[in-house]
């Protein structure tokens, strides 16, 4: 087995208090053929001093220190190291994480024995640790089957993946258009061409910072959507989408529910507003059992291609106990097949009770479906609560969610949040919705917030006041 040089880099911005542990883990590696780039990204703590101390304690020219006057971020740092490095392979370690001593050795063995040289990505698993450095979980980076990669939610972690330098250079390095999710950026560029392998053991400790997790999650999702949409920059064809809005009137003691106002705007208007300005808009259909809702829509949206579903059919569908989304979408297919107009490319069901859904969500979801091999897409959220199944005597926990003290990425469960369903027209024509190949458009809890009938009295009272 040869011993390729690994170019390791550690970017650090005010994480001096963690840096020494990361550096010690580099020194402890059983695999010794590496060079190290330490990048102080405009830190105001003792980061630079620690880096210089480590450099002076090591073999000459093995450790390189780069000091940025202004913070540049991960992507620019990575591209700068890519220009300077001498290695065949490149590897990032974040300043607040640290390696097991076997990390580099196990990755190199996998690279040398199974991977296609100069075109490889080798990933490993990792431990999650808390602020006290106690292990609180384990996550695997095992990639899905290549045929399913477009629908994959979690590409390998952006850090601690061993990547062929030539591969990274051949795809233009990292895009500097994105502020986060460098792992997603790399994955989108390489997963169909790279030779990807997995080391089935943990290689590093990933520190969990509890503060601002929700804010961080929103930032990551925003970057992920931007990365996916960037694949369509040079696409000239804009697929048209026909929307169907479910506008059931009666819920328990309430009638004309679509006209209930939230923040001064009727629910039906919030739904229509989220799609009326999309460049993809083909037409809007609505399904309701209320004459008042019909009158409201006819008066307000005469300038749009907005049409009611046949009243008798609408009442039949609405009388069912739960929204038959598949049937709603098939009503549109039936209409278009019997008409002589231009067919839409996609069909999308919209729920009026999802009050924070926006046009950007719909637009990003369209882009995601376009860049995948899937038939349909559901808006989803990560399931955090306990899920139970029942037999004749007891309840059994089959998903412990946030109450699981030992997390594993395979335990992530996604739940449909009802905000929207998007499907290619031909898929709806030829198969039941939930038997098609489905991917998810992940939303935060705030983005997927849905009003339930129990909140209608409160909202109505607030609106009147």
pLDDT at 412: 64
Q: What is the mean pLDDT of residues 313-330?
A: 76
Do 366 and 271 belong together in one domain?
yes
Do 370 and 320 belong together in one domain?
yes
In a domain, 404, yes or no: yes
pLDDT at 358: 94
Q: What is the mean pLDDT of residues 238-248?
A: 91
Do 255 and 212 belong together in one domain?
no
Distance CA 318, CA 286 (A): 12
Considering the entire predicted model, what is its pTM?
Answer: 0.74
H/E/C letters for each residue in the chain? CCCCCEEEEEEECCCHHHHHHHHHHHHCCCCCCEEEEEEEECCCCCHHHHHHHHHHCCCCCCEEEEEECCCCCHHHHHHHHHHHCCCCEEEECCCCCEECCCHHHHHHHHHHHHCCCCCEEEEEEEEEECCCCCEEEEECCCCCCHHHHHHCCCCCCCCCCEEEHHHHHHCCCCCCCCCCCHHHHHHHHHCCCCEEEEEEEEEEEEECCCCCHHHHHHHHHHHHHHHHHHCCCCCCCCCCEEEEEEECCCECCECCHHHCEECCEEHHHHHHHCCCCCCCEEEEEEEECCHHHHHHHHHHCCCCCEEECCHHHHHHHHCCCCCCHHHHHHHHHHHHHHCCCCCCCEEEEEECCECCCCHHHHHHHHHHHHCCCCCEEEEEEECCCCEEEECCCCEEEEECHHHCCCECHHHCCEEEEEEEEEEEHHHHHHCCHHHCCEEEEECCCCCCCECCHHHHHHHHHHHHC
Distance CA 53, CA 39 (A): 14
Do 310 and 443 belong together in one domain?
yes
Is pLDDT of 345 > 90? yes
Do 72 and 183 belong together in one domain?
yes
Average pLDDT value over all residues in the chain? 84
Distance CA 209, CA 377 (A): 32
From 230, 260, 292, the end of a domain falls on: 230
Name the residue with higher pLDDT: 258 or 151. 258
Do 266 and 225 belong together in one domain?
no
From 230, 257, 279, the end of a domain falls on: 230
Query: How many domains, in total, are found in the chain?
Result: 2
pLDDT digits (tens, 9 = 90+) for 148-205: 344 444 556 678 999 999 999 998 988 887 766 556 777 777 877 889 899 989 999 9
Distance CA 379, CA 440 (A): 6
pLDDT at 100: 97
pLDDT digits (tens, 9 = 90+) for 395-425: 887 676 666 655 555 456 788 999 999 999 9
Token representation of residue 57: 């304690």
Question: What share of the chain has pLDDT > 90, as a percent?
Answer: 46
pLDDT digits (tens, 9 = 90+) for 24-51: 999 999 999 999 999 999 999 999 999 9
In a domain, 70, yes or no: yes
Do 325 and 454 belong together in one domain?
yes
Is pLDDT of 272 > 90? yes
Is pLDDT of 260 > 50? yes
Q: Are strands 89-92 and 6-12 parallel, antiparallel or unpaired?
A: parallel
In a domain, 28, yes or no: yes
Q: Whole domain around residue 34: which residue ranges?
A: 6-230
In a domain, 236, yes or no: no
pLDDT at 270: 93
Backbone angles phi, psi at 21, to 5 degrees: -70, -40
pLDDT digits (tens, 9 = 90+) for 111-162: 999 989 899 999 999 998 988 999 988 887 765 443 334 444 455 667 899 9
Do 96 and 147 belong together in one domain?
yes
Is pLDDT of 213 > 60? no
Q: What is the mean pLDDT of residues 366-382?
A: 90
Q: Is 26:15 a contact under the CB 8 Å cutoff? A: no
Mean pLDDT check: name the lowest of 16-20, 97-101, 327-331: 327-331
Q: How far apart are the first and last CA of the chain?
A: 76
Do 298 and 408 belong together in one domain?
yes
In a domain, 235, yes or no: no
pLDDT digits (tens, 9 = 90+) for 74-96: 889 999 999 999 999 999 999 99
In a domain, 157, yes or no: yes
CATH number of the domain within which 269 lies = 3.90.550.10
Do 402 and 267 belong together in one domain?
yes
Do 49 and 111 belong together in one domain?
yes
From 180, 204, 230, the end of a domain falls on: 230
Do 203 and 259 belong together in one domain?
no
pLDDT at 148: 39
């Amino acid at each position: 087995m040869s011993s390729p040089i690994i170019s390791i880099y550690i970017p650090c911005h005010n994480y001096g208090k963690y840096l020494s542990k990361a550096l010690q883990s580099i020194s402890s590696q059983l695999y010794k053929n590496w060079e190290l780039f330490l990048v102080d990204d405009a830190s105001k703590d003792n980061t630079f001093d620690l880096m210089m101390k480590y450099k002076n304690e090591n073999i000459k020219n093995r450790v390189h220190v780069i000091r940025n006057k202004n913070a540049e971020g991960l992507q620019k740092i990575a591209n700068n190291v890519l220009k300077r490095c001498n290695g065949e392979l490149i590897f990032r370690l974040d300043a607040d994480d640290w390696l097991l001593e076997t990390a580099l050795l196990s990755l190199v063995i996998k690279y040398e024995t199974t991977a296609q040289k100069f075109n490889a990505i080798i990933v490993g698993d990792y431990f999650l640790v808390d602020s006290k450095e106690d292990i609180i979980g384990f996550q695997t980076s095992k990639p899905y089957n290549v045929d399913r990669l477009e629908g994959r939610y979690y590409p390998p972690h952006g850090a601690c993946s061993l990547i062929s330098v030539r591969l990274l250079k051949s795809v233009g390095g990292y895009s500097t258009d994105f502020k986060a999710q460098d792992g997603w950026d790399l994955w989108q560029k390489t997963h169909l061409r790279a030779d990807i392998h997995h080391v089935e053991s943990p290689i590093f400790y990933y520190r969990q910072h509890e503060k601002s997790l929700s804010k961080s999650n929103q930032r990551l999702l925003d970057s992920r959507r931007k990365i996916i949409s960037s694949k369509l920059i040079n696409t000239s064809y804009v697929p048209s989408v026909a929307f169907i809005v479910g506008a059931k009137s009666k819920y328990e003691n309430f009638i004309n529910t679509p006209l209930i106002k939230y923040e001064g705007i009727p629910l039906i208007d919030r739904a229509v507003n989220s799609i009326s300005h999309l460049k993809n808009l083909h037409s809007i259909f609505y399904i309701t059992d209320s004459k008042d809702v019909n009158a409201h829509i006819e008066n307000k949206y005469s300038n749009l291609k907005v049409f009611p579903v046949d009243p008798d059919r609408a009442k039949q569908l609405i009388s069912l106990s739960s929204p038959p989304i598949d049937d709603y979408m098939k009503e549109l297919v039936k209409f278009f097949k019997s008409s002589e107009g231009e067919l839409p490319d996609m069909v999308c069901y919209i729920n009026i009770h999802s009050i924070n859904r926006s046009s950007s969500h719909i637009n990003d979801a369209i882009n995601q479906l376009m860049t995948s091999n899937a038939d349909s897409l559901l808006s989803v959220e990560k399931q955090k609560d306990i899920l139970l199944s029942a037999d004749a005597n007891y309840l059994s926990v089959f998903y412990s969610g946030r109450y699981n003290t030992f997390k594993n990425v395979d335990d992530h469960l996604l739940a449909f949040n009802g905000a929207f369903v998007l499907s290619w027209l031909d898929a709806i024509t030829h198969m039941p919705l939930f038997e098609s190949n489905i991917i998810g458009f992940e939303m935060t809890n705030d983005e997927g917030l849905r009003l339930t009938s129990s909140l209608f009295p409160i909202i109505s009272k607030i609106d009147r006041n």
